[in-house]
A = this chain, B = another copy of it.
Amino acid sequence: MWLLVWVLAASISVLAFEQPGINSLPANNPVKQPWIWPLPRKWQRGENTLDCSHMQIQYDHQHGILHRAVQRYKDLFFPQDDYPMVPYNWTTTDAHLSGTLKTLVIQVEQPDHDNLDLDTDESYVLDIPDAPAARAVLAAKTVFGAVRGLETLSQIIQWSPQHQRHLIPNAPWHIQDYPKYPHRGVLFDTARHYYPLQAIKKFIDTMSWNKMNVFHWHMVDSTSFPYVSKAYPELAQKGAYSPRHVYTAKDIQEVVSYAKDRGVRVVPELEQPGHSTAWLGVPEIMSCVDVVPYTGFTVQPPSGQLNIASNKTKHVVKAIVDEWAELFPDSFFHASGDEVVMNCWANDSSIQTYLQDHHMTLQELFSDFVLEIQDHIRQKNKTVIVWQESVLEYNLTMPKDTIIQVWIGAEGVKAATEKGYRTIVSSQDFVYLNLGFGKPRSNPYPDVAGAGFNHWNRVYSYDLRANLTQAQQDLIVGGESALWGELMDPMTFESLAWPRASAYAHNLWSGYEDSDGQPLSSADAILRLIPWRERMVQRGVMASPLNQIWCTRNPLDCFQPAEH
C-alpha cells in the first residue's frame, strides 16, 4: 500500500512538474559543493537519498538551550514550497532513494558548560549513514556546537515537490566542522535609528543561521541615548528619541537571553568620550554640545563630547559601565573611543582652566580619562575592545589583552598586530554594509574613498590576513561587518545586511580558501549563496536578491566571463 501511494505521488508530481521550458528544473547546476552556508570545514557525501519526513530526534530534554534549539529546528527542518524559485537539483540522486532517516541522535559531551565566550567550542560532527532505517548522530562538545550542527542539518534537508517529502540527498554524510575564527560578528547601530526588539531578535536569528556568534550592540551615539539607566534615567529621558524609543534593563536581558539560546554573544559598545552629544541629560558632563556650524567640533553632527576634566563625568560613565557589566554577562566590553575631535575640548573653557590648574596637556588629560574608564571595565573582569584610533592615532598604551577593532583597513590591521594586540577586522572598504548611497543631501555618487557599495563577492573573498606575518595572523580573533545607521533603519536593514553579511560569515567560518589553500572561486560560491539567500527568504528574511531568477536557475549558462 505504502509503495503504491509513493509511486502514485511520484507520478502525479512528475506530471505537474514536467515543464521542459526555459524555467524547468535546472539542468546545469552542478552542485559541486553542498548547499550549506557557510561551507563545513570537512565534508564527505555519497549519492543516495533518504526520506527524513518522519525523523525523530533523541536528545537530553533536561538542557534548556538544547531543548529550545531542537524545538526551533523542528520547524526549520521541514519547510515546504511546491514552486521554489531555486529548485534543488535532484537529477543525480532521486534514482537512489535508498532508505529512511528514522532518528537523529544528539550527543553533547559537556551539556552543563554553557558559558558562551571566545573559547567556546562550536565544533560538531554530523554523521548520516545510508541505510534502510538510518540513525544519524550529531555529536558536539557543547550545546552551542549542537546548535551549529542542527543548522547544518537543516540546510542539508531538501523539500522535494516531486516526492512531496523532505529528503536528504547525497547520503551518507560525514561532516566535521569548526570555525576558522572564534569571533564572527556584526555591528548593529541602534542610536542613529531605533530598532524595536522584534527587529533585533530577527537579526540575531539570521546571524545564528549564518553561524555568526557576536552581536556587537552599538547602542548609544551622539544622536540618541536609548538606554534607560537605573542611576541616571535622565540620560534616556533627554537623550532618547521618545519614551517609546528606549531599551530597558529588561529589554537587554531579553535580547541577551534570546541570543545565547542561538549561540550569539551580545557585546555592548559604550560610545564615549566622542560621539557623545546624547549624554546631555546630565548637562554638566558635556563639552561643545551642538555647536553651529559643527565643522571642526565633530566629524558628524551634532557636536558634543564628554567633559573629560569633570569627576562627575567619570562617575556617570562608570555607573553605566557598572550597570552594563551586569546586564551584559559577556566577557567582552567595547569601550569605543573612535573619532574624538580634540578641538572640542580645546574650546571648552572649563577644560582649559583644569589643564592650567593641573599643569597638564590635553593629551595627558584625555589619556588619563580613557585609561581610567578602561581600567574600571577591566575591574569587572571584562576584556576591553577599543577602536583602532586608541593605538594608531591617540597612541595610548594599553594592556596587551586589549582587543583592537580596526575599521580603516589592511594598514590598520597590520599596525595593530605589529604592536602585539589582538584584532577584530572591520575594514570599511570591504565589510561595511551601509555604504554606497552617497551623502544624505547632496552627494550624487559614492565617489569618496571607502564610501562605495561593498559587493557580496568583495566581502566573500576579502583576505583578512594579507601581508601579515604568521604571528600577526594569529592575533586576528575574527571580524565584524558593520551596519552603521546613517542611511538604514528597520525598513531597510535586512536587505542591506543579507546576504552580504552571510558572505563575511562564510569568510570567517570556512575561510575563503579551499583545503589546498587556493581561494574559493566566486563562481562556485554564488551557486551556493543564491539558494542560501532563497532559504533565508523562506525563513522570513528580507534579503536582497543576487541575480535574476533565470540566472539563479541556470547559473552556468548565466555566469560567463562576458556577463552583462
Contact = CB atoms under 8 A, between A and B. Distances in A.
A302 to B, nearest CB: 6
Contacts of A238: 19-23
A33 interface: no
A467 interface: no
Contacts of A443: 455
A558 interface: yes
A16 B243 CA distance: 9
A358 interface: no
A544 B23 contact: no
Nearest to A458: B444
Contacts of A537: 491
Nearest to A224: B23
A453 B457 contact: no
Interface in A511-555: 522-523, 526, 537, 542-551, 554
A499 to B, nearest CB: 11
B551 A224 contact: no
Nearest to A439: B563
Contacts of A522: 441-442
Given A192-B548, A301-B551, A491-B542, A22 B277 contact: yes
Interface residues of A, number: 86
A120 interface: no
Contact of A293 (B488, B523, B560): B560
B488 A545 contact: yes
Contacts of A71: none
A363 interface: no
Contact of A301 (B237, B240, B445, B557): B557
Contacts of A80: none
Contact of A441 (B193, B222, B559): B559
Contacts of A34: none
Interface in A278-296: 278, 280-281, 290, 292-295
Contacts of A281: 21
Nearest to A290: B557
A56 B194 CA distance: 37
Q: State the oligomeric state as a number of copies.
A: 2
A223 B562 CA distance: 18
A550 B495 contact: no
A241 interface: yes
Contacts of A295: 560, 562
B542 A492 contact: yes
A6 interface: no
A240 B549 CA distance: 11
Contact of A551 (B440, B545, B546, B561): B440
Interface string A76-109: 0000001101000000000000000000000000
A563 B442 CA distance: 9
A268 interface: no
A375 interface: no
Contacts of A23: 223-224, 238-242, 278
B455 A453 contact: no
A484 to B, nearest CB: 9
A275 to B, nearest CB: 11
B22 A223 contact: yes
Interface in A200-228: 222-224
A489 interface: yes
Interface in A250-287: 277-278, 280-281
Given A444-B455, A492-B495, A544-B487, A550 B437 contact: no
Contacts of A82: 244
A38 interface: no
A550 B302 contact: yes
23 contacts: A19-B238, A21-B239, A22-B239, A22-B280, A22-B302, A23-B240, A23-B241, A83-B242, A293-B560, A301-B557, A436-B437, A436-B446, A437-B453, A440-B547, A441-B526, A442-B457, A442-B522, A444-B452, A446-B452, A453-B453, A486-B547, A487-B545, A487-B547
